[in-house]
Structure 1
Amino acid sequence: MVLVKVSDIKLNIDLDEKAAFEKALKIAGIKKENVRDGKIIKYSVDARHKDHIKKIYTVGLYVDKYGKNRKNVTVINHEKKYKPEITGNSKLNNSPVVVGFGPAGMFLGYMLAEYGYKPIIIERGSKVEERIKKVEKFWNTGELDTNCNVQFGEGGAGTFSDGKLNTGIKDKFNRIGFVLDTFVKFGADKNITYDAKPHIGTDILAKVVENMRKYIESKGGTFYFDTAFTGFATKEGKLESITLNGNEKMYTDICTLAIGHSARDTFEMLYENNVNMEQKPFAVGVRIEHKQSTINKSQYGFEDNRIGAANYKLTYNTSKNRGVYSFCMCPGGYVVNSASEKNKTVVNGMSYSKRDGENANSALVVTVTPKDFDGDSPLAGVEFQRKMEEKAYEIGQGFVPVQTYRDYKDNCPSVKIGNITPQIKGNYRLADLNAIFPEYINESLKEGIEYFGEKIKGYNDGDVILSAVESRTSSPVRIVRDENFQSNVYGLIPAGEGAGYAGGITSAAIDGLKIFEYITSKYKPVN
C-alpha cells in the first residue's frame, strides 16, 4: 500500500474537508472505492487577496498501487515514523528522575514509562485538577500560591496559554509529528496534526495533561506533586542523590531538570552549587488587545469568525536597532495574571479551544541582551525581570496595570477606557505603563506599534489596550550542557525552555525526546 499525496488543493471558504477529499480524488484520478484510507496532511488559509480567500489542503490517499504522473501528486512508499531504539547496556542503580512536568518533562516521562524505565517525576505544583482551582482563586482574590500558579504545576506554563504547537525547528526524524500524534492520543483534536498553525486550547490541554499523567502511572511511573527540588549531592564527580523539600533524600543516577523558565529559586540553588550557567537574551514588553473583529477585518476582509479567528505575526527593527515583535498571539483570547512571586505582576495570554472571545491579544515585546543587564552574574537577567515586575505590581496596586495606547503614547496615566474592554483573567487597574520600563523599551514599543499600524488597520488606534508586564517570554538563563546533554555535574541534565534549549511547547517536548534518546543509548530499562 502506498500514500498518494495531493497538494495545493484550493477551495472556496464555504467548502470543507469533504470537498477537499473529493477534489483530491479527481486530481489524482483515483476512484473512491479504491481508497483504503485517507487523511488531511496539511491545511492553511491563503488570505493574500481579501476578495479571493482560499482554503489550501494537502490530502493523503492510501491505495494499493499508483502509477500515474500528475501535477501536485507525489507517491510516498514508506512514511517516516518516529521509533527510537534502546541500544544502551549499562544498568541504572535507581530510577531516572524528571524534575518538572511541563512539555519537556511530560514527553521525557512519557517515553521513559513507555519503554520500561519507570521514571520518578517531581513537580513543585499540584495536579492539574487542583492547580486550576488555585489559579482561579488567585484570579478572583489575588491570593497567590507561589508553588502552584500559572507558571508552576502539572502541565507547566503552557497549560494556561493558547497551547500553540507551531515551531520553526528543523526535524528530519519526524519528532514533531510524533509530538502532535501523542497529544491527539491523549485527547487533543486531530486537526493539530495538519493545521499550519496548530493549537490545542487551555480547556482541552488540561485534560490532555491529566490523561498523560494517568498513562505514565499505568506504565510504572511515579509522581510526587507539591514537591520541590531543593538540592543535590555528588559522589566522585557524579550525581548520587537529590534533595526534596529541603530534607528528603532520593538516590538517582540521572536527574533531568525540566524546570521551566520561571523557576528562579531553583536557578539560584544551582548557581550556588556551581552548576555552570550563563546569561542569554530574551524579550520584555506588554500584552496588546484589539477587538478580534478588527483583526479579522484586516486579515480576511470580514469581521466574523467564519474561517476561525484571525491571527498575526509582526516584526520590526527600530531606528535604534532594537527588535520589536509580536509573540504568543492569542486570537479570541484572554490576558492572564501570571505571577509566581509575591508582590510582582506578570501577564501572559491564553485562548480556549474555540477562540471565541471578543478580543485578540498578543505579547508585543522588545529584545534585550546581557548588555542591558546590571552585572555579569548568570542571574542578572532574572533581576532585570524582577525590577519591572515589582514596578508593575506597584503601579497596579496589586492588580494588572492597563493603559490605552493613546495615553501610553502621550505619557499620561489612563483614567478611562474607550471602546475596547480589557479581557483579563484577574483584576486590573488603570495606570501609566511608562513608569515600568527603561525609556529605550518605551520608545521601541511606541515606534513598533506605529509601524504595525501600517500593516494592520486599527493596530495603533488610541483605544487599544496595553497591559504589563510581559517578562517571561523565554528563560533569562541557560544551564550549560555538552553534546551528551550533561551539565558540569554528570547525571544532572538540563532540558527544555527553562534550561534555555527550547522556545515553546513543541520544541520543549522535542528536547525531552532527545534526552530520552540519549538515556536509551546509554542505559537499559529498569528491572
Structure 2
Amino acid sequence: MPVEARGKSIGALIHRREIDPESNFSFGEGGAGTWSDGKLTTRIGRNSGPVRFVLETLVKYGAPEKILVEGSPHLGTDNLVRLLRNMRADLRSMGGEIHFGARADKFIIKDGTIEGVGAACTPVRERARANDSEELGDPTPGLEPTKVFRGDAVVLATGHSARDVYYELHNLGVKLEAKGFAVGFRVEHPQPLINEIQYGKDWGGRVITGRLSTDSANAEHFAKDAKHYVSHEGTLPVASYRLATNEAFDGISNRGAYSFCQCPGGQIVPSSTEDGELCINGMSFSKRDSMWANSALVVTVSPNDAILEPWSAHGCLAGMEFQRDMERKAFMLEGGDMSAPVQRLTDFVDRKLSQCVPSSSYRLGVKSAECHDIYPEPLYNALRNAIVTHFDKQMPGFLCDEALLHGVETRTSSPVRVLRDSTTLQAIGVDNLFPSGEGAGFAGGIVSAAVDGLLVADAIKAKFFAHNNETKLFDGNFASVGYEY
C-alpha cells in the first residue's frame, strides 16, 4: 500500500483496533522502517563510498542536508513519508511501474530458474495494471485472480515480517538457513529522566524540543532539584543511549543483550501483522519531541539454541515459529484487545506483578501483567542479569520505578537467511533470483539494506549487461559485512 493508504490503515488500528494484514505499521510502502525513528547509523563504514551514496540520494529526495555531517543522523517518520512519495514519483517518471495491493504469493520457478512472481491483487485505486500479466490458478477469497509478473530477474527484498514468503520459498526447495536473532521487550522512561542520566543535573534542563508541553515537563523535572540547577545559555538535543553486554548470564552460560532501535522523544506502536498476535516497536518524528524515550531491550537467540527445541520440527523456520508463539502469548496475556502487557522494570527484576503502572505512549492502552513469564527462563534470566549487573551500571538510574517494560519485541531482525552465491548474489540453486536486504538476512537497518540493494543492482548489471562498459555503481564488496543487529 502507498504511505497515504498506510496512514489510514494505521488510524483504523489505533482508533478502532482493526488490523489490516496488508497495510499496517510493518507492511506497505517503505516497510517497517517508514514508521520508525529512521536511524541512518551503520556499522559498514560511515564514510565509505556506498554509504555516502545512499545518504546523498536521500538528500536528493528531500532529506535534510545535516544527515551528511551528523554523527548519528536520523530522519523520523515525517521525513520518511515525504521521501517515499518523492521517490515513487521519480520512479514512475522514468517509466517504472508500481503495483500497490499486489501481494507476492507464488514464485514461478522452472528448471532451476525463476521466471516470474505471482501476486494476489486487491483493488487499490493507485495500482497500475501490468500489461504483461496473466491469470494463474483460482482466485484467492476476497482478492482478484492471482497475476503473474514476468521478468529476466526477480529481486527478493521483503521485510523480516513476511513470514508467508519464507514458507513459500521453503516449500519450493529454495535454500534457507536459520540465523541468530534477538527478542525481548520495549522499555520506556520519561525523557527528562534520560536527559538527566546522560547530561547530568546541570545541563539536562537545557534540552529544548520546541514543543511547549514537553519542554515544560523537562524544566519542571530539573526544577525539583533546584540546588543543583545551573542556568546555561546553550541548548542540547534530546538525549539518547545505547547499552550492550556479551555477559548476560542466563543460568548456564552468557548471552548477548543490548538496547535496540532507541527512540528518544518517541512513542511505542503496535507492529503486529496478524490477528491474535501482539508485537510492538518504537518510532519517533524528526523533532523527537514527545515526553517519553523508548528502546528495545533484547537477548540473543542462536540458530541452534536449546530454547528452540520445542519448535525444532519446523527446521530452519523454528526461530520464526518461536517468535510467533511469543507474540500469541503476549496477545492472550493482555486480554486479546491489542493493549500491551506491561510491568515496572523494578517489578520485572523482582518477578512480581505491578500494582499500578506509570503513563505510557502506547495509544492502544496497557495492562499490568507478569511479563517475566512470557519468555523461556534462560531469556528472562539473561535479560534480568543484563539490566541489574550491566545496564544500570552503564547508566546509573536506568533501573527505576518510572521505567515501564512493554511486551513483546520479537522482530529485531530476520531469524532466517535466504542463501545466495557470494559472487553472483543469486539464490543458491535458483538462477535470476536475487535475495536482498533485511528480510533476506543480509542487512539490519535502512542504510545497510540500501547498500545491499546497490550490491544486487551491480550483480544484475554484471549478468545481463556484461557488454556494457559502464562502471559499477561503486567499488568494493560489502556483502560479508552488511549485518547490523
Instruction: Tell me the TM-score range normalised by the shorter chain.
Output: 0.7 to 0.9
Amino acid at match of 1:228: R
Amino acid at match of 2:418: I
Q: How does 1:70-89 map to 2 (within 5 A)?
A: none
1:249 is matched with 148
Q: Which of the numbers 504, 508, 513 marks the counterpart of 2:454?
A: 513
Amino acid at match of 1:318: A
Q: How many angstroms apart in 2 are the aligned matches of 1:172 and 1:160?
A: 26
Amino acid at match of 1:215: D
2:366 is matched with 428
How big is the shift at 1:134?
0.5
2:256 is matched with 323
1:346 is matched with 279
Say how many residue pairs are matched.
398
Q: How many angstroms apart in 1 are the aligned matches of 2:296 and 2:13?
A: 22
Q: Which of the numbers 149, 160, 176 marks the counterpart of 1:277?
A: 176
**Equivalent pair of 2:266/2:288 in contact (CA under 8 Å):** yes
Amino acid at match of 1:263: A
Q: Structure 1: 5+ residue runs without aligned partners?
A: 1-125
2:133 is matched with none
Q: How many angstroms apart in 2 are the aligned matches of 1:358 and 1:133?
A: 25
Q: How many angstroms apart in 2 are the aligned matches of 1:271 and 1:234?
A: 13
Q: How many angstroms apart in 1 are the aligned matches of 2:21 and 2:59?
A: 31
Q: How does 1:440-455 map to 2 (within 5 A)?
A: 440-450=378-388, 451-455=390-394
How big is the shift at 1:171?
7.2
2:340 is matched with 400
Q: Which of the numbers 208, 217, 230 marks the counterpart of 2:92?
A: 217
Q: Structure 2: 5+ residue runs without aligned partners?
A: 121-139, 141-145, 208-234, 467-485
**Equivalent pair of 1:295/1:456 in contact (CA under 8 Å):** no
For residues 168-195 of structure 1, give each alpha carbon's deviation from its aligned partner in whole angstroms, at most 9, with x where no partner exists: 1147861111111111111111111111
Q: How many angstroms apart in 2 are the aligned matches of 1:286 and 1:262?
A: 17
Q: How many angstroms apart in 1 are the aligned matches of 2:296 and 2:375?
A: 15
**Equivalent pair of 1:140/1:427 in contact (CA under 8 Å):** no
Amino acid at match of 1:298: I
Give 3-state SS (helix, strand or coil) of 1:322's partner. strand
Larger displacement relative to structure 2 (515-524 or 325-334): 515-524
Amino acid at match of 2:161: S
Identity %: 42
Give 3-state SS (helix, strand or coil) of 1:268's partner. helix
Q: Which one has the bigger strand percentage?
A: 1
1:486 aligns with 2:387: no
Give 3-state SS (helix, strand or coil) of 1:228's partner. strand
Give every structure 1 segment of 4 or more consecutive aligned residues whose post-TM-superposition deviation is greater than 3 Å.
170-173
Q: Which one has the bigger helix percentage?
A: 2
Give 3-state SS (helix, strand or coil) of 1:466's partner. strand
Amino acid at match of 2:90: Y
For residues 78-109 of structure 1, give each alpha carbon's deviation from its aligned partner in whole angstroms, at most 9, with x where no partner exists: xxxxxxxxxxxxxxxxxxxxxxxxxxxxxxxx
How big is the shift at 1:351?
0.8
TM-score (norm 2): 0.80
Amino acid at match of 1:206: V
Q: How does 1:26-425 map to 2 (within 5 A)?
A: 126-170=1-45, 174-245=49-120, 247-301=146-200, 302-304=203-205, 305=207, 306-316=235-245, 317-319=247-249, 320-370=253-303, 371=305, 372-373=307-308, 374-375=311-312, 377-397=315-335, 398=337, 399-418=339-358, 421-425=359-363
Q: How many angstroms apart in 1 are the aligned matches of 2:256 and 2:47?
A: 30
Larger displacement relative to structure 2 (435-444 or 425-434): 425-434
Amino acid at match of 1:303: G
TM-score (norm 1): 0.73
Give 3-state SS (helix, strand or coil) of 1:379's partner. helix
How big is the shift at 1:234?
2.7
Change (3 A) 1:519 1:171: farther
Q: How many angstroms apart in 2 are the aligned matches of 1:506 and 1:142?
A: 32
**Equivalent pair of 2:443/2:449 in contact (CA under 8 Å):** yes
Amino acid at match of 2:286: S
How big is the shift at 1:518?
1.2
Amino acid at match of 2:93: S
Q: Larger Rg: 1 or 2? A: 1
For residues 45-68 of structure 1, give each alpha carbon's deviation from its aligned partner in whole angstroms, at most 9, with x where no partner exists: xxxxxxxxxxxxxxxxxxxxxxxx
Change (3 A) 1:171 1:521: farther
Amino acid at match of 1:498: G
1:469 aligns with 2:408: yes
